[in-house]
């Protein structure tokens, strides 16, 4: 009987550890909301091809703040080298989507 309980508990533990990753549209909505609320960016200019510097007028300090907001919201660390290579909103969308999928694949 104890073995049966142990096996059941391990199945429950594994189920609780699994994560649900948001779809791309949800990721975009979450990131756009961060930009609108935390950086006061007009939602009408939040287009995938928008340049963070030229179109959204984000400087390097804003970039650091954005990374912190992403890490807090999605609960993962942003790779520093990858963060430096981000130039457009689409780069952010792809980076977050890729990282969330990587985390999901690493789950036992």
Structure tokens at 97: 């989507």
Q: What is the largest CA-CA distance in the chain?
A: 65
pLDDT of residue 21: 84
Active site residue 91: no
Is-contact 25 19, C-beta < 8 A? no
What digits encode the pLDDT tens for the residues 64-91? 999 999 999 999 999 999 999 999 999 9
H or E element at residue 31: helix 24-39
Task: Please name each of the domains of the chain with its CATH number.
Answer: 22-106 (1.10.1200.10)
What digits encode the pLDDT tens for the residues 17-30? 556 789 999 999 99
Candidate list 59, 79, 91, 97, residue with the active-site label = 59
For the chain, the straight-line distance linking the first and the last C-alpha, in angstroms and rounded, comes to: 26
pTM summary value = 0.79
What digits encode the pLDDT tens for the residues 45-70? 999 999 999 999 999 999 999 999 99
Reduced to 3 states (helix: H, G, I; strand: E, B; else coil), residue 62 is: helix
Is-contact 70 34, C-beta < 8 A? yes
């Amino acid at each position: 009987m104890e073995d049966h309980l142990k096996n059941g508990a391990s199945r429950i533990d594994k189920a609780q550890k699994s994560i649900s990753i948001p779809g791309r549209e949800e990721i975009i909505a979450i990131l756009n909301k961060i930009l609108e609320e935390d950086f006061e960016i007009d939602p009408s200019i939040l287009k995938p091809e928008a340049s963070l510097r030229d179109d959204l007028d984000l400087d390097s300090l804003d970039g650091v703040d954005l990374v912190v907001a992403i890490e807090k919201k999605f609960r993962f660390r942003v790779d520093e080298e990858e963060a430096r290579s981000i130039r457009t909103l689409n780069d952010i969308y792809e980076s977050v989507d890729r990282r969330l999928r990587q985390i999901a694949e690493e789950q036992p």
